[in-house]
Amino acid sequence: AKYTLGETDLMTVIAAVIVGGTLLNGGKGSIVGALVGSLMMGMLNNGLILMGLSVSDQMIVRGLIILTAVAV
């Protein structure tokens, strides 16, 4: 196995937790929020794959989602 095997999944996990409502400054979140965020990111990933975006474009979209969630 390569050491970079799950590298692209890291941003997805961070985005799922942030979208799920975990506060970045206090770190408090809920299991339900994390599950909802995971489901939302899963649906987004499926949509991006179906749209035919490259992996780098998918990471850009996830980054924009993180920035939007942090700004709100």
Task: Determine the 3-state secondary structure of 56 from DSSP.
Answer: helix
For residue 2, pLDDT over 80 is answered with no
**CB contact at 8 A, 63 and 11:** yes
- What per-residue confidence (pLDDT) applies to 52? 96
Find the angle CA(6)-CA(58)-CA(8) to the nearest 5 degrees: 10
For residue 1, pLDDT over 80 is answered with no
Residue range 3-55, pLDDT digits in tens? 778 877 888 888 888 888 888 887 788 899 989 999 999 999 999 999 999 98
